[in-house]
Amino acid sequence: MMAEPTATTDIWVSGTEAPEVSEWMVAGTDEGAQEMERDETVERSVEQRGSRVVDDWVVDDTVDDDERMIVNMGPQHPSTHGVLRLNIELEGEIVRRVKPIIGYLHTGMEKTAETLTFLQGGTNVTRMDYLAPLHNELCYSLATEKLLGVEIPPRAQAIRILMTELNRVSSHLVATATNGMDIGALSMMMYGFRERELILAFFEKTTGLRMNHNYIRPGGVAADLPDGWEEDVAEILERIPLAMRDYEDLLKENPIWLGRTRGVGIITVDECLAYGVTGPTLRAAGVPWDLRKSQPYSGIEAYEFDVVTGSRGDVYDRYRVRIGEMHQSLRIIEQVVDTMPRGDYKTADRKVSPPPRQRIDESMEALIHHFKIYTEGFKVPAGETYVAIEAPRGELGCYLVSDGSGAPLRMHTRAPSFSNLQALPIMMADSLVADTVACIASLDPVMGDVDR
């Protein structure tokens, strides 16, 4: 008999005693060059697999190959985002092998970066993870600023934290909404996108766009916060926590939701570390690793917040971690509003920052300066650097190489969705085919982040 899921949760935050993380000993899987060739089936005992596994699921590995079949899920499948293909080997309804096949959305953004100036680069990177565009912009800007050696004013730092934490909340709202829809909780889809509209409306008011903003730029931000921004953020801080209570009432103790998520898609700490899995997926396995704490950037160390973690590493814990992270991001946003410093929103270094707009009408030199900055860009000293930040899906890194010109010689992005997607074969081994969609949704992959 399948164990009854319980309504209790093992989510906790840093600063409290962490529950013990179970040791799940799982063998890895080998991949064929083109199609999946079975070498040795990954087997997990009933004890290793947890409450979702019943004795009948554990099938003898001596089953003939002709009793297994390979099916393709995607790339046109809605739950694979239209651009992800899973090559799945089935034994009845049990998934024995999974091979993620990517590349249907290749856009060549890393190579495109070499043809753009450092100032223009923000318009490129913001389109990679299109649910977290401001994090892409921040990471790229921090890497450029590290090569430049410029100081960013406190107000610009605070605005960056405000915008990226709002972006984290909006991204997690989409993750929760689509996770619910994929498993059948259609109300969650409507609720999640309803609250996200509040944040996107503020983004549009601030940057002029709902997505792909090019707002965070090397040297600061493109413009100061608009008039009345405090009231807009106050409304977000008031309405979203109330809405999140509805999510909790809808899903937290829902027996169908618990049955479809508890013990499903388990990945252990060792497996996460072996595959480079970061973000909520790693924290749901029990590791309190958050770059905002371990490698703080943009002055985020000045704000108080906790790292939310889980213990089982399953779909349910990943959902609960994201809910907890939204609460912590709102906590940071509230502190930013209360302590927003006065001053400039971009660096005073005129080699990097264009002149104020009003100066263009007053000075020919300012007009020429403005023209050269936006047409030729600024030169960055030769060197290479790597900067990483905590994006909604995990560690987002930017590796930049400059040869002293106005455009990068090379740019490479360490995309969290790309690394996290490697974990699917481990998460789905020896599970039911019906759990495939739940596993994919719980990773919250953005394919623009994978096929960059």
Average pLDDT over residues 133-156: 96
Query: What confidence tens digit (pLDDT) does each residue in 103-131 have?
Result: 888 888 999 999 999 999 999 999 999 99
Let me know the angle formed at the C-alpha of 75 by 36 and 26, rounded to the nearest 5 degrees. 40
Cα–Cα distances (Å) from 27 to 277, 303, 393, in that order, read 17, 41, 25
- Using the predicted structure, report yes or no on whether residue 276 has a pLDDT greater than 90: yes
Question: Cβ distance 102 to 450 under 8 Å?
Answer: yes
pLDDT score, position 360: 84
CB of 444 closer than 8 Å to CB of 175 = yes
Q: Residue 192, Cα to own-chain centre: how many angstroms? A: 16
Report which listed range, 54-58, 240-244, 356-360, is most confident: 240-244
pLDDT, average across residues 340-362: 86
Homologous superfamily of 120-416 in CATH?
Cytochrome-c3 Hydrogenase, chain B (1.10.645.10)
Given pLDDT bands bounded at 50, 70 and 90, which one contains residue 52? very low
* Average pLDDT estimate for 139-155: 95
What mean pLDDT is predicted for residues 21-45? 36
Give the per-residue pLDDT at 11: 56
Ordered by start, the domain boundaries in the chain are 120-416
Calculate the alpha carbon distances from 392 to 97, 174, 209, 283, 434 in Å.
28, 11, 20, 12, 26
Q: What is the pTM of this model?
A: 0.85
Q: What percent of the chain lies above the pLDDT cut of 70?
A: 85
Show Cβ contacts of residue 381 under 8 Å, excluding neighbours closer than 6 positions. Answer: 147, 148, 149, 402, 404
pLDDT in tens, 188-243: 999 999 999 999 999 999 999 999 999 999 999 999 999 999 999 999 999 999 99
Q: Are 251 and 7 in contact (CB under 8 A)?
A: no
